Amino acid sequence: MAGFYLAFSVVIMPALRRLPGASGAAAMQRFNEDAPKAWVPVAVPVAVLSVVLAVAGGRDVPRIDGVLLVLGALAYLSSVAITFAFHIPRNNRLAATDPATDDGAAYWTVYLAEWNPMNHVRTLTCVVAAVCFAVALGR
């Protein structure tokens, strides 16, 4: 998931920002239609696995492996929470706009300013989760 989010942060969103407003917004609307098809089959099982690892790790919290498993799960689940609380509402609002209108163009500007910084946070939470899991499970 970190790689998926990172691709948006450093490749896709900068490219969309360089397009004329209506074109960038329309392209993002298409991405947002297809993204759940890629996101859900990966994100949901990883969220379930994170909970399982957190429960298993919770039994060994005094040990560093247990602490890392719990921290990894919390980090990953925070990325899911960011997605649902922050990104999906903005994606839905963008979907409801017509990028060719003044209102659509105005929202695209807001969307660009808000969406990517929180995507960086979401990417970082996934990196932290992956590192915690890798270290805990590799010990």
Selected residue with higher pLDDT from 56 and 60: 56
Dist. CA 74–CA 44, nearest whole Å: 14
Where residue 61 falls among pLDDT bands split at 50, 70, 90? low
Q: Whole-prediction pTM value?
A: 0.86
Between the alpha carbon of residue 117 and those of residues 19, 23, 56, the distances in Å are: 19, 21, 33
Number of Cβ within 10 Å of residue 129's Cβ equals: 24
Asked if the model's pLDDT at residue 47 lies above 90, the reply is no
Where residue 107 falls among pLDDT bands split at 50, 70, 90? very high
Q: Classify residue 46 as left (phi > 0), alpha (psi -120 to 50) or beta.
A: alpha
Which single residue is written with the structure tokens 């039994």? 59
Residue spans of the domains in the chain: they are 2-138
Asked if the model's pLDDT at residue 11 lies above 80, the reply is yes
